[in-house]
Amino acid sequence: MSDPKIEGFELEKGFRGMAKDTGSDQTMFKGVHWGKAMMWIFLLSDTFVFSCFLIAYMKGRASTPVEWPNPSEVFALDAFGVPVPLLLIALMTFVLITSSGTMALAVKYGYERNRKMCGYLILATALGGLTFVGMQAYEWSKLIHEGVRPWENPFGAAQFGSFFFMITGFHGTHVSIGVIFLFIYCYKVFAGHYDEGKRGWFTKMKGDYVEVEILGLYWHFVDLVWVFIFAFFYLW
């Protein structure tokens, strides 16, 4: 995970180390599993996709002369008859952060080869993700009942709906895919595939707990994107 030791070489730290790693005529990311590097590259490209959506939303919101719907009223939820602003969104945020924390611990216990703890924590992460998707489905159906459409809504600027469904929908898709993979990896951990080094699908690579970390990177990224959506779409 950190400070790889290659026999006979002492790897330098910092920018000097970076220059040496890059110019070593060898693998550039020293001590980084190729699957992890590829996941990072994928996440980088995904960052650009989400950025494009959020920038489009910024531009759309900044360029309309019609008033933008007030998110703390649109997303308010009645709790015991009192409208609480952003209640559901706050709960969704807390659920997602909780699942992110359990995932981080799952990675830790995975590297410690603690099969049971790792498996249970991945299961908890998957259940958290499932709760999040459920809450999002509820949020969508509530707004659709209130008449929000991609082309119109009763609250203000017509662009609101298309940005809302596009951005939260794309994020929800990521969460859903993550949940599916979390359940698969939960099974693989409990079945001991990473202890025995059992091969996965489509690959000759032997199973290892580094795969849990790679899955964890994806899951934390989903949480990371939500941080930005929460700030720009719901709070701004």
Size of the residue set binding another protein (CB under 8 A): 61
Assess contact for 124 and 102: CB atoms under 8 A.
yes
In the complex with another protein, which residue's Cβ is closer, 7 or 145? Answer: 7
Closest CA relative to residue 12, chosen from 37, 39, 26, 30: 30
Q: Which string of DSSP letters, residue by residue, matches 137-202?
A: HHHHHHHHHTT--SS--SSS-THHHHHHHHHHHHHHHHHHHHHHHHHHHHHHHHTTHHHHT-B-TT
Site string for another protein, 78-117 (x = CB under 8 A): -------xx---x--xx--x--xx-xxx--x--xx-----
Q: Find the helix or strand (DSSP H, E) in which 71 lies.
A: helix 71-74
Residue 8: CB minimum distance to another protein, A: 18
Provide the 3-class DSSP secondary structure of residue 83.
Answer: strand
Site for another protein in 7-36 (CB under 8 A): 11, 13-15, 17-18, 21-22, 28-32
Handedness of CA 27, 31, 33, 39 (dihedral sign): negative
Contact call for residue 141 and another protein (CB under 8 A): no
Tracing tokens 């993700």 back to the chain, one arrives at 129
Contact pick of 38, 72, 83, 206 for another protein (by CB under 8 A):
72
Residues found near another protein in the complex (CB under 8 A):
1-4, 11, 13-15, 17-18, 21-22, 28-32, 37, 40, 44, 47-48, 51-52, 55, 58-59, 61-65, 72, 85-86, 90, 93-94, 97, 100-101, 103-105, 108, 111-112, 213, 216-217, 220-221, 223-224, 227-228, 230-231, 234-236
